[in-house]
Amino acid sequence: EDNDLEDIDSLLEKIEDTNGLLPQTQSGVIADSRPLLYVEHRNLNPENELKRYFGARAVLGDQRPRQRQRQYVRSTWLTAPKNTWPRYSKTGISMQLLDTRRGVQHFTFEHHREYQQVQFKFLDAVESMDPNNIVLLLQMNPYHVDSLLQLSDVCRMQEDQEMARDLIERALYSLECTFHPVFSLTSGTCRLDYRRPENRAFFLALFKHLMFLEKRGCPRTALEFCKLILSLDPENDPLCVLLLIDFLSLRAREYTFLTRMFQEWESHRNLSQLPNFAFSVPLAYFFLSQQEERPELERSQARERAARLIQLALVMFPSILTPLLDRCSVQPDAGVASHSFFGLNAQISQPPALNQLTSLYVGRTHALWKDPAVMAWLETNVHEVLRMVDARDPLVEESEHKRKMRYQSAPRNIYRHVILSEMKEATAALPLEVTSQPVMGFDPLPPLDSIISYTRPERYLVHPSFLCWHSQPVPSIPALLQGDVRHDGEEEAGAGQDLNQGVNRLMAAMRDMLANIQFQEPPRDDNPEGDGDWD
428 pLDDT band, cuts 50/70/90, is confident
CB atoms within 10 A of CB 151: 29
Residue 532 has pLDDT above 90, yes or no: no
Residue 61 pLDDT: 64
Please check the confidence at residue 64 and state whether its pLDDT lies above 80.
no
**Residue 64 domain-assigned?**
no
**Quick one: 143 and 287 in the same domain?**
no
Q: How far apart are the first and last CA of the chain?
A: 85
Residues 266 and 222 in one domain: no
- The 10s digit of each residue's pLDDT in 180-216 is 999 999 989 999 999 999 999 999 999 999 999 999 9
Nearest Cα residue to 361 out of 299, 283, 308: 283
Domain presence at residue 250: no
Q: By the 8 A CB rule, do 449 and 109 touch?
A: no
**Percent of the chain topping pLDDT 70:** 76
- How does pLDDT run across 338-354, given as a tens digit for each residue? 999 998 888 888 898 99
pLDDT, position 25? 41
Q: Tell me, yes or no, whether 200 and 271 share the same domain.
A: no
- Residue 270 shares a structural domain with residue 235: no
91 within some domain:
yes
Q: CA angle, corner 84, sides to 80 and 87, nearest 5?
A: 80
Whether 63 is covered by a domain: the verdict is no
- Distance of alpha carbon 80 from the chain centroid: 21
Q: In this structure, are 445 and 362 located in the same domain? A: no
What type of residue sits at position 119?
A: Q
User: Residue 55's pLDDT band (boundaries 50, 70, 90)?
Assistant: confident
Same domain, 405 and 295: yes
Q: Residue 456: what pLDDT?
A: 87
The span from the CA of 218 to the CA of 183, in Å, is 26
For residue 433, pLDDT over 60 is answered with: yes
Confidence of residue 12 (pLDDT cuts 50, 70, 90): very low
pLDDT of residue 62: 52
Strand partners, 99: 106
Specify the pLDDT at position 266: 96
pLDDT of 481 reads 61
Rounded average pLDDT over 46-58 = 84
Altogether, the residues listed in the chain come to a count of: 535
154-176 average pLDDT score = 95
CB 447 within 8 A of CB 194: yes
Judge if 227 and 282 occupy the same domain. Answer: no
Give the Cα separation of 116 and 93 in Å (integer). Answer: 9
Neighbours of 96 (CB within 10 A): 11
Q: Are 359 and 401 in contact (CB under 8 A)?
A: no
Structural domains counted in the chain: 2
Tell me, yes or no, whether 6 lies in a domain. no
pLDDT of residue 409: 86
Q: Which of the residue ranges 83-92, 223-232, 405-414, 460-469 would you say has the lowest mean pLDDT?
A: 460-469
Specify the pLDDT at position 463.
47
Angle at 252 between CA 248 and CA 254, to 5 degrees: 95
Is residue 388 domain-shared with residue 274, that is, in the same domain?
yes
Same structural domain for residues 197 and 105?
Answer: yes
pLDDT tens string 382-396: 999 999 999 999 999
User: Quick check: 354 and 403 in contact, CB under 8 A?
Assistant: yes
Asked if residue 117 has pLDDT above 60, the reply is yes
The alpha carbons of the chain give a radius of gyration, in whole angstroms, of 27
Residue numbers of the domain that contains 397:
255-410
Q: Which range among 60-74, 242-256, 288-302, 354-368 shows the weakest confidence by mean pLDDT?
A: 60-74
Average pLDDT of the chain is 83
The whole-number pLDDT of residue 311 equals 97
Q: Do 235 and 260 lie in a common domain?
A: no
- Lowest-confidence pick of 59-68, 247-256, 304-313, 365-374: 59-68
CA distance 28 to 513: 75
pTM of the model: 0.81
Burial class (CB in 10 A: 0-12, 13-18, 19+), 51: buried
pLDDT of residue 502: 54
Residue 47 lies in a domain: yes
DSSP string across 315-343: HH-GGGHHHHHHHTT-PPPHHHHT-GGGS
Q: Which residues contact 495 (CB under 8 A, 6 or more apart)?
A: 475
Name the pLDDT band for 505 (thresholds 50, 70, 90): low
pLDDT at 413: 95
User: If DSSP codes are grouped into helix, strand and coil, which group holds residue 255?
Assistant: helix
DSSP letters for 123-168 = HHHHHTT-HHHHHHHHHH-TT-HHHHHHHHHHHHHTT-HHHHHHHH
Q: Confirm whether 226 is domain-assigned.
A: yes
Instruction: State the Cα–Cα distance between residues 385 and 314, nearest whole angstrom.
Output: 7
Pairing of strands 104-111, 93-101: antiparallel
Q: Is residue 359 one of the residues assigned to a domain?
A: yes
pLDDT average, residue stretch 247-253 = 97
DSSP assignment string, 386-446: HHHHHTT-HHHHHHHHHHHHS-SS--HHHHHHHHHHT-HHHHTT--HHHHTS---TTSSS-
Which of 401, 431, 449 corresponds to the end of one domain?
Answer: 449
Angle among Cα 178, 169, 72 to the nearest 5 degrees reads: 65
Clarify whether residues 98 and 222 are in a common domain: yes
Please give the pLDDT value at position 422. 87
If asked whether residues 298 and 220 sit together in one domain, one would say: no
Q: How far apart are CA 122 and CA 125, in angstroms?
A: 5
